[in-house]
Each structure stands twice: as structure tokens, then as C-alpha cells.
Amino acid sequence: MKIKWKLLPQIFGDQFKITEREAIKILQENIYRPSYNWKHGEAKTAGVMWRDKYIQELFKLVLIDEDILVKKVGRKKVQKELFFKSKVFHLFVVMAGLNYKKSSSGYLAFKNDYAKWKRLKLFKPSWKKGKITHTKLLKRIRASNKKIDALETAENKKRDAGQEYTRGLYESGQWEKTAAGLRKIIK
């Protein structure tokens, strides 16, 4: 028999001869059980666990902890540090009823889940997409500008040296300026 919300009054009304405690257990097993719908909903929506405001606030603390760890260990190592050593993340996992093994397979599962969770509409203000990319782009532009400036300065030095040499020949009196360039004066 498929359990529906409409049957809830009948369950508590002793029609099925079960106690209130058994009815609550049935509800917990069918609605609030840790399954794929617990962490993630359909079509990139939030799972059931995100209905709890306490879990949402704990995850915001995890995001803040990530920002703090980024400054210490860098952007590439932050998720590994968060997964294996963060007390805030461990508290979030316990309170959310999640189960991750402390191994490489557990870490990969965490990385997949974490990427999806950060993109939930609930947390958009705390995680802004594109900020890192923008700073990387600025660094690339600055680096290319430095290369161009270095080439220009090297080119300028060579041109200045050539002009100084030409000026020295002209001032020596043995060379004259023509439309085609310098020409040696024949005596």
C-alpha cells in the first residue's frame, strides 16, 4: 500500500491498528530518510535536508570556514583540508545525518556534493561565481603588459643606441645626411 498524506488522519485513528510511534517511524523512513533525495533533489534543486534552517546555517559556517582556509592553504587544497581536518564541516556532517568515509572515495563523494550545494540558490550571496576568474584574468593581462613593456624597452634601447651612433658619425664631420640616410663624404 502506498502511503499518502491524506491517510495520515486514518493512521492515527487506529484504522490500521498501529500506534502513534509506529506511524512516526513510517513517516521518518519514507520522508526523512537519508537517500539521494535527502542531499539533492531532482533537476538540481535542494534536497530534503535543506528545509532545516539549522543545517542551512551550519553550511554557511562551512562556507565561511572555507574562505578562512583559502587564505591559509590556497584555493587548490582547501576542499581536502575542509574534508579531512575542519571541525565545522565535521559538525555539519553529523548534524545533517550524512555519512562520508575518511578515504579517497569518501572525499570524491564529498567534492561532488559540495560543488552542488555551493550552487544552491540558498547560498548564492555567500558564494559568488566568477570572482576568482576575474582576478586570474587581471593577472594574465598584467603579465602580458609586462612582457610587452619589456619588449618595448629593449627595442627602445636598441633604437636609442642606433640613433646615438648615427649622431656621433654625423657630428664627426666624415658623414653627411641625405634623403636615403647617411653617406660618407669623399675627400
pLDDT in tens, 122-154: 766 544 555 556 777 778 788 888 877 777 787
Q: Is residue 95, in this structure, part of any structural domain at all?
A: yes
Q: Is residue 15, in this structure, part of any structural domain at all?
A: no
Question: Cβ–Cβ contacts within 10 Å for residue 99, how many?
Answer: 10
Whether residues 70 and 125 fall in one domain:
yes
Measured CA to CA, the distance from residue 35 to residue 179 in angstroms comes to: 87
**% residues pLDDT > 90 (the chain):** 0
- Between 41 and 57, where is the model more confident? 57
pTM: 0.49
Lowest mean pLDDT across 15-29, 53-67, 88-102: 15-29
Number of domains in the chain: 2
Whether residues 107 and 152 fall in one domain:
no
Task: Give pLDDT, residue 159.
Answer: 86
Decide: helix, strand or coil at residue 18. coil
Last residue of a domain, one of 101, 129, 157: 129
Cβ-count burial of 141 within 10 angstroms (0-12 exposed, 13-18 middle, 19+ buried)?
exposed
Which single residue is written with the C-alpha cell 559540495?
114
Q: Is residue 114, in this structure, part of any structural domain at all?
A: yes
For 156, the domain range is: 133-184
Lowest mean pLDDT across 59-68, 118-127, 178-187: 118-127
Q: What is the DSSP string of 77-128?
A: THHHHHHHH-HHHHHHHHHHT----SSHHHHHHHHHHHHHHHTSGGGGGGS-
Task: Give pLDDT, residue 126.
Answer: 47
Whether residues 121 and 141 fall in one domain:
no
